[in-house]
Amino acid sequence: MKPNDMKYEINKLSDAFYNIHPDYAIINQRVKFGTSGHRGISTEGSFNEHHILAICQSICDFRLKINITGPIFLGIDTHALSVFARNAAIEIFAANNISVIFEGFDAYTPTPVISHAILAYNKKNNNKADGIIITPSHNPPQYGGLKYNPFHGGGADTATTEWIQNRANEYLLEGIHKLKRISRTQASSKQLLIEQDLLGAYIEELDQVLNIDAISASSLTFGVDPLGGASIAFWQRIIDKYKLTIDIICDKTSPDFNFVPADKDGEIRMDCSSPWAMSRMIAKRKNYDLSFGNDTDADRHAIVAQTGLLHTNDYLAIALDYLHKSRVNWQLKSLVGKSVVTSDLISAVAYSHNREVYESPVGCKWFATSLFNGEMTFGGEESAGGTFLRKNGQPWSTDKDGLIMNLLAAEILSVTGRNLQEYRQDLERQHGVFSGINDSISINRDKLNAFQNIDFSKITPALLGKDIVIKHETTAKANNKPIGGIKWTTKNGWSVVRVSGTEPMYKIYVESFIGKQHAQEIFDETKRLIETNLND
């Protein structure tokens, strides 16, 4: 949404949330879980009170099905629709006699804090807990979203979300009026609403996952732009507790996010991997030794060196290399998680540390079980998401954790004294050239439907970047699950095309093992091929 339209639209979101009742006959108004949860817009009938009621009742049913009897942890971000959705969720959970543990009615809670809280509770209790986070992540201000994290603390797998989605759509079809609800007052009187300092518990244990003392002892200065999201309180509290020299360059929150720089297409989008959204921090980068950013629920990270915004693939490779040199108590035989669109530099670094690579479809949810079991030391994906184990090899968070990923960059600089850009160049000297390009192309609903109906097996090109296409894949190597598109591979690079799981757009990811010009050739050829098929 363009900034000039935002004020008008925000004023309509609340009314639409309560007064527009989704029509089951319209496919786009049904519950649909994408890469990470259900997302939509209230004025379009795709994220409304009825969706939340149906999804939350379905989660209650799912809990009964797999015998989860503990509390549910609930977090929200700063999007306008999040508070309304939280209130509706509480009515359903309380009516099902489920205790809800949350930060408080006036607080926001980052996704990784909820993941950490679920794990901490389940380590001590037999009646397992799970959680929901009400967030559309980095999506524009008019969006709402809800994702479910089971007892392992990470995003739910596809089988789980399909079950919840299908049950929720049954409730939409049968009529929401049949669902039992109780008010917040009734829930409070039954002592089902439990306020806890979840953020404080997360902050208190940071020394178990990071060398926080090294950061505190350094004379380094840091900057951070939370992009108006749920991480604002986190950054202020770690400044106070650990005496870090961090400048929060913007501590505003507002449902229209009108203070966030517009993305390249003019939309306000809290995407911390975007140089446009992060332009405010980038402009101030030379004032600090290192700077950071987060999206609205803080499951994504951004690292801004004095040379500029690090590409997320570059930083993931740096983080992976440093962690496997410094975490001496991690298992010698363990996995490293990466998605099918994440740089092969990750694989090269992992192999150099004698780690196996688990290549999944897009979404850190595919790493959750292995992280939970301690079988995977690190999971990272191109969309600026990653997490890793505690120093003792136990799980910390099993969802994307933009907070520890940012602070890890501070640790690396504090401990090694190495400029992160120079670190990346050292990795290239060791492992070869890895030049990547990725872009998102907005399309209308008709073209989106056309994209989803493309038979990719019939359009595989003979050549890509002047090289023969030696392999095409529509499923991921690790688990044979669909990648939502196709990957074409040559001896000197690869290209992936897939539909976005959150907005009407498709995405192209490219990597060359020769250089930037070759990567651009692959990208241009890929885009022409897709556009030709969409226009036929």
Question: Is the domain of 355 the same as that of 230?
Answer: yes
Contact 226, 294 (CB under 8 A): yes
Amino acid at 490: T
Residue at which a domain ends, from 396, 415, 431 = 431
Look at residue 98 and tell me if it is in a domain. Answer: yes
Contact 35, 163 (CB under 8 A): no
∠ Cα 74 79 80 (to 5°): 105
Question: Is the domain of 385 the same as that of 242?
Answer: yes
Question: Is the domain of 213 the same as that of 240?
Answer: yes
Find where tokens 């997490």 sit.
387
Phi/psi at 519 (nearest 5 deg)?
-60, -40
Question: Is the domain of 344 the same as that of 474?
Answer: no
Q: Token pair for residue 221?
A: 């200065």
From 36, 82, 115, 137, active-site residue:
137
- Per-residue pLDDT, 7: 54
Look at residue 301 and tell me if it is in a domain. Answer: yes
**Beta strands across the sheet bearing 493-499:** 435-442, 505-512, 493-499, 482-490, 471-475
- Per-residue pLDDT, 3: 53
Look at residue 309 and tell me if it is in a domain. Answer: yes
- Per-residue pLDDT, 19: 96
Look at residue 2 and tell me if it is in a domain. Answer: no
Question: Is the domain of 252 the same as that of 123?
Answer: no
Which is nearest to 302 in space by CA: 284, 275, 324, 329? 275
Which CATH number is 527's domain given?
Answer: 3.30.310.50
Question: Is the domain of 424 the same as that of 442?
Answer: no
Phi/psi at 377 (nearest 5 deg)?
-80, -35
How many independent structural domains does the chain possess? 3
Q: How far apart are CA 143 and CA 46, in angstroms?
A: 9
Question: Is the domain of 450 the same as that of 389?
Answer: no
Q: What is the pLDDT of residues 42-92, one digit of tens each?
A: 999 999 999 999 999 999 999 999 999 999 999 999 999 999 999 999 999
Residue at which a domain ends, from 145, 161, 196 = 196
Can you spell out the DSSP letters for 1-31? --HHHHHHHHHHHHHHHHH----TTSGGGS-
Question: Is the domain of 40 the same as that of 161?
Answer: yes
Question: Is the domain of 252 the same as that of 378?
Answer: yes
- Per-residue pLDDT, 8: 45
Look at residue 188 and tell me if it is in a domain. Answer: yes
- One pLDDT digit (tens) per residue for the chain, 536 residues: 455 555 547 789 999 999 999 999 999 999 999 877 999 999 999 999 999 999 999 999 999 999 999 999 999 999 999 999 999 999 999 999 999 999 999 999 999 999 999 999 999 999 999 999 999 999 999 999 999 999 999 999 999 999 999 999 999 999 998 899 999 999 999 999 999 999 999 999 999 999 999 999 999 999 999 999 999 999 999 999 999 999 999 999 999 999 999 999 899 999 999 999 999 999 999 999 999 999 999 999 999 999 999 999 999 999 999 999 999 999 888 999 999 999 999 999 999 999 999 999 999 999 999 999 999 999 999 989 999 999 999 999 999 999 999 999 999 999 999 999 999 999 999 999 999 999 888 888 778 778 877 887 778 888 999 999 999 999 999 999 999 889 999 999 999 999 877 778 889 999 999 999 999 999 999 999 888 888 76
- Per-residue pLDDT, 461: 87
Question: What is the extent of the structural domain holding 139?
Answer: 11-196
Which CATH number is 404's domain given?
Answer: 3.40.120.10
Q: What is the pLDDT of residues 344-378, one digit of tens each?
A: 999 999 999 999 999 999 999 999 999 999 999 99
Look at residue 42 and tell me if it is in a domain. Answer: yes
Look at residue 6 and tell me if it is in a domain. Answer: no
Question: Is the domain of 482 the same as that of 411?
Answer: no
Contact 276, 266 (CB under 8 A): no
First to last CA, the chain: 29
Contact 465, 522 (CB under 8 A): yes
Q: Is 129 exposed, middle or buried (0-12, 13-18, 19+ CB in 10 A)?
A: buried
Half-sphere exposure of 317 (CA within 13 A, CB side): 29
Look at residue 1 and tell me if it is in a domain. Answer: no
Question: Is the domain of 70 the same as that of 91?
Answer: yes
Residue at which a domain ends, from 396, 431, 466 = 431
Question: Is the domain of 172 the same as that of 268?
Answer: no
- Per-residue pLDDT, 531: 87
137 included as an active-site residue = yes
Phi/psi at 438 (nearest 5 deg)?
-145, 150
Q: How far apart are CA 308 and CA 297, in angstroms?
A: 23
Contacts of 497-500 with C-beta under 8 Å, sequence gap 24+, read 497/456, 497/526, 497/530, 498/341, 498/362, 499/448, 499/451, 499/452, 500/440
